[in-house]
């Protein structure tokens, strides 16, 4: 695999940081909006474009989302620094004794967890990578740690076709698809229009379950094969395995007592069960419910408040990328949405498509837009009406178009470092280190998704 090693060396040498990528995408989106869209008012087009950008950066709903993502990173990190979590993960990592076994275990478990919930899969994969990296460092066997990091990111390759997929779940809500169109437009579609699309037609369809099962087999095998073909090396992770705060003699008496934090943890857990219990049983896990559960577990599993605080001090260091880069992407989303760029991109692919090629072009356009708008729910709100209208106009089944959109949206996560920021924060890897392998995963998965849209659906 000299070619892969050469590509990895080139990317590691020349690949920019995630912050630089966000800045470049910001400039590109502003230029595209200015030159390829028109102003809806008599005001300066430049002023309008910059206003879209500003409004996106300070969008209150997106800022709340950004804070949720920071909490997912911080609380997941605090949780893994607790002694019980360390013991549990040590049991799991006992199965690992080589690079191949490491990437197969991490990718398989991450794919399974992410299929149930994207946020849980994201943090689980990162934590498992971290612990296996520590094990290798302590026991003296070599890993390709960047490849292992890419293995912990594969959950974002299947999430939108899973139980937390934004487009399939929204399409199943009563009245959601009807909200895209006026009553006269709905009447013109006739019997082809579906008021709602059940998840049995999308997430739980035989076609999607086959695709998910095939990916669950194919991706770990591919990564295991790849691990045997590329060079491994010692990688200094410099991470502690757990937090032991009792040696902190300067901690206050209350901080060292085990009861205060555990009392709060119990109260949080009871509140979680009362508030979110029924939805969790139905596998409807939101960022808020996930954070609430992790916060309760953090207080319960850490020995005392001093332990929690010490872990917080370490965990908070990994949030700098999210703090700055998320608002930049929110600005890009504002420009893409308000200027009509997303509509222009989606409409272009629809215009050149036929009944047979529409699912493929929907897949491609969703992937392209995801580079600029890395939010499945936000992207569906903009692109969904266009995709559904095109499906009705060209006689393509709506469930197929929804899944084509979902596959396209998730596959380019392998090219977009936005969602990798939590993983990078926990594992201390750099985007350019995992990108050679996520690029290969993107190529493999794109090929498989396109084949599925042609021959299985």
Contact 227, 103 (CB under 8 A): yes
Q: Shortest CA distance to 362 belongs to which of 332, 399, 415?
A: 399
Residue 94 lies in a domain: yes
Token duo for residue 214: 């095939």
71 assigned to some structural domain: yes
The encoded tokens of residue 423 equal 């993983």
Angle at which helix 341-351 crosses helix 376-394, to 10 degrees, equals 30
Token pair recorded at residue 305: 């408040």
Number of residues assigned to the chain: 457
pLDDT of residue 237: 58
User: Residue 241: inside a domain, yes or no?
Assistant: yes
pLDDT of amino acid 245: 44
Nearest to 62 by CA among 278, 347, 379, 343: 379
Return the half-sphere exposure (C-beta side, CA atoms, 13 A cut-off) of residue 289.
19
Q: Is residue 196 part of a domain?
A: no
Three-state DSSP string of 44-100: CHHHHHHHHHHHHHCCHHHHHHHHHHHHHHHHHHHHHCCHHHHHHHHHHHCCCCCHH
Flag whether 198 is in a domain. Answer: no
Query: How would you write the pLDDT of the chain (457 residues) with one tens digit per residue?
Result: 666 667 667 777 777 888 898 999 999 999 999 999 887 777 889 999 999 999 999 999 888 888 888 888 788 778 878 888 888 888 888 889 888 999 999 999 999 989 988 877 888 899 899 889 888 888 877 789 999 999 999 999 999 999 889 899 889 888 889 888 888 888 887 776 777 899 999 999 999 999 999 999 999 999 999 998 876 655 655 554 444 444 455 556 787 788 888 999 999 999 999 998 888 777 677 788 888 998 999 999 998 888 898 888 888 877 777 788 889 989 998 998 899 898 888 889 988 999 999 999 999 999 999 998 887 887 898 899 999 999 998 999 999 999 999 999 999 999 988 888 888 888 889 899 999 999 999 999 999 999 999 999 8
101: tokens are: 């076994």
pTM, rounded to two decimals = 0.86
Domain that holds residue 13: 2-165+203-339+417-455
Neighbours of 111 (CB within 10 A): 24
Is residue 62 situated within a structural domain? yes
Full DSSP string of 21-38: HHHHHHHHHHHHHHHHS-
362: Cα within 13 Å, side-chain hemisphere: 33
Closest CA to 324 of 28, 21, 30: 21
Question: What pLDDT does 236 receive?
Answer: 57
Phi-psi region of 283 (alpha: psi -120 to 50; beta: other; left: phi over 0): left
If one counts the domains in the chain, the total is 1
Give the residues across from 233 on adjacent strands.
Answer: 143
* pLDDT at 277 (0 to 100): 86
64 domain residue, yes or no: yes
Residue 394 domain-assigned (yes or no): no
Instruction: Check residue 247 and give its pLDDT.
Output: 46
Phi then psi for 417, rounded to 5 degrees? -75, 0
DSSP state, residue 413: G
Residue 242 is predicted with a pLDDT of 46
């Amino acid at each position: 695999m000299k070619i892969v090693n050469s590509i990895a060396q080139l990317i590691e040498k020349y690949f920019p940081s995630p912050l630089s990528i966000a800045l470049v995408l910001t400039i590109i989106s502003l230029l595209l909006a200015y030159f390829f869209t028109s102003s809806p008012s008599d005001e300066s087009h430049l002023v309008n474009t910059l206003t879209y950008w500003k409004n996106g950066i300070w969008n209150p709903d997106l800022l709340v989302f950004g804070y949720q993502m920071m909490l997912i990173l911080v609380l997941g990190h605090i949780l893994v620094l607790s002694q019980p979590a360390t013991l549990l993960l040590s049991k799991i990592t006992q199965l690992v004794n080589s690079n191949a076994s490491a990437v197969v275990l991490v990718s398989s478990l991450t794919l399974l967890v992410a299929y149930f919930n994207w946020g849980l899969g994201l943090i689980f994969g990162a934590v498992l990578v971290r612990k296996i990296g520590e094990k290798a460092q302590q026991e003296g066997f070599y890993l390709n740690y960047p490849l292992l990091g890419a293995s912990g990111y594969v959950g974002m390759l299947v999430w939108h076709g899973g139980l937390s997929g934004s487009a399939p779940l929204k399409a199943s809500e009563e009245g959601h698809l009807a909200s895209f169109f006026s009553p006269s437009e709905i009447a013109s579609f006739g019997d082809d229009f579906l008021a709602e699309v059940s998840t049995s037609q999308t997430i739980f369809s035989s076609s999607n379950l086959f695709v998910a099962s095939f990916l669950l087999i194919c991706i770990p095998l591919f990564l295991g094969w790849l691990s045997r073909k590329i060079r491994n090396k010692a990688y200094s992770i410099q991470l502690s395995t757990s937090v032991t705060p009792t040696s902190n003699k300067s901690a206050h008496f209350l901080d060292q007592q085990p009861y205060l934090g555990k009392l709060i943890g119990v109260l949080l857990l009871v509140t979680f069960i009362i508030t979110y219990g029924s939805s969790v049983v139905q596998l409807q896990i939101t960022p808020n419910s996930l954070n609430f559960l992790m916060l309760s577990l953090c207080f319960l599993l850490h020995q005392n408040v001093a332990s929690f605080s010490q872990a917080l001090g370490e965990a908070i260091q990994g949030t700098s990328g999210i703090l700055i880069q998320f608002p930049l992407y929110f600005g890009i989303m504002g420009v893409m949405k308000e200027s009509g760029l997303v509509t222009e991109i989606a409409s272009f692919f629809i215009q050149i498509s036929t009944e047979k090629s529409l699912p493929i072009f929907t897949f491609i356009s969703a992937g392209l837009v995801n580079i600029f708008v890395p939010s499945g729910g936000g992207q569906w709100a903009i692109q969904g009406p266009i995709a559904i209208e095109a499906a009705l106009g060209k006689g393509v089944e709506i469930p197929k178009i929804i899944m084509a959109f979902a596959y396209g949206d998730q596959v380019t996560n392998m090219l977009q470092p936005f969602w990798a920021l939590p993983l990078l924060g926990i594992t201390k890897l750099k985007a350019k280190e995992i990108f050679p392998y996520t690029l290969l995963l993107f190529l493999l998965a794109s090929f498989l998704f396109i084949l599925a849209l042609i021959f299985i659906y």
